Amino acid sequence: MKRLLVCVLGMTCLLGFSQSKEWTNSGGQPGNLNTGYVRVPASITQSTNTSTITALNSVSCPAGDNSYFRRFDLDGEFGIAGEFTIDSVDFGIENLTGITTLTTTVNLYTIPTGAPLTFANLTLIGTAPFLVNVAQAGTVVSAPVTGTVTDPTATDLVVEVFAPDFTAGGRFFIGSNALGQTAPSFLASAACGAAEPTDTGTLGFPGMHIVMIVNGDVQSCSVTSIFADNGAVTINGDCATGLDVWCQSDATGDVLLASGVVVNGSATLSIPTFTPDAVYYTTLPGETGIANAVDGVISNRTVPTLGEWGMLAFITLLMGSALVFMKKQRSA
């Protein structure tokens, strides 16, 4: 009878254990994994007014090439710390004179943060020709060009609009206004004494503020930790466009729990079914497998714990065992 009681209590304890739906807090566990991310559109400009192109406001050198520049401190001026990919550059056109069309070139460069703006310090990351025509005078055009600044904390972005040699006739004037800018505009033309990019104010034209907008997208998705506890998964991070949440266990493999989960600081997802010995991770929509976990953050394997009934049964078992032991001691 005593043995039967011990067996019944032991089975009750195990039953309470196996039916528990609680998990230990796992926290974030970075792994040697590929990093996924969500891309968020971003447009940057140093022009206070990007729609007004003022006539007779820009200058060019008629004796040779002209290069117009802007330099963008991505993290310091725009708060862009993640990888920045450019897909187009908008710039103003004041006028073409003596010609009806001109093939310009839009170049993208990186330059070490703090380094002087010289040609020797520029590293080309993208280039594309762009045909300008006289009908675009007074407008802002969009030139497709691609390039990526992988580390905006260490390098700045430099954009050049290059207009070729005018010695055969014709002139190109980039669009500008005098309505304000947050950083200088630059012009280089060796034929007119500016062998390196030079502030237009230093050249004697302080009101020549080149109108330019850079369009692209920014790496903007991070998961800092994943917790699995009490029937829910909590994801901490910042992913505005939504993530897929996965559960992986030895018994079930990878199971998609939810799609498009937006993480704004944190997000909590109820777990419909208890899965012992599981890990949880997030991916970009359409991605699968822990190797594609966003920022390489996954939960530790969850460990089932005793539920209330299991704990009561376990205590009762211990008390019963103690009573049996004490009785045997008295009998002896």
Q: Per residue in 60-80, pLDDT tens?
A: 999 899 999 999 999 999 988
What percentage of the chain carries pLDDT values higher than 90?
Answer: 49
One-letter amino acid of 88? S
First to last CA, the chain: 20
Instruction: State how far the alpha carbon of 168 is from the alpha carbons of 62, 65, 98, 215, 216, in Å.
Output: 9, 11, 10, 34, 36
pLDDT > 70? residue 308? no
Angle at 251 between CA 245 and CA 254, to 5 degrees: 25
**Position 4 confidence tier, pLDDT thresholds 50, 70, 90:** very low
Fold of 23-36+221-305: Immunoglobulin-like (2.60.40)
Task: Give the pLDDT mean for 96-122.
Answer: 96
> What's residue 229's pLDDT?
73
What confidence tens digit (pLDDT) does each residue in 247-302 have?
Answer: 888 888 898 988 888 887 888 888 766 566 788 999 877 788 888 888 778 887 65
Task: Give the pLDDT mean for 219-245.
Answer: 79
CATH 2.60.120 in the chain is located at 40-219
CATH 2.60.40 in the chain is located at 23-36+221-305
> What's residue 230's pLDDT?
66
What confidence tens digit (pLDDT) does each residue in 17-65 have?
Answer: 333 323 333 333 333 233 345 567 889 999 999 999 999 999 999 989 9
Q: Whole-structure pTM over 0.85, yes or no?
A: no
Question: Do the Cβ atoms of 121 and 112 come closer than 8 Å?
Answer: yes
Read off the tokens for 19.
């039916």
Fold of 40-219: Jelly Rolls (2.60.120)
Average pLDDT, the chain: 81
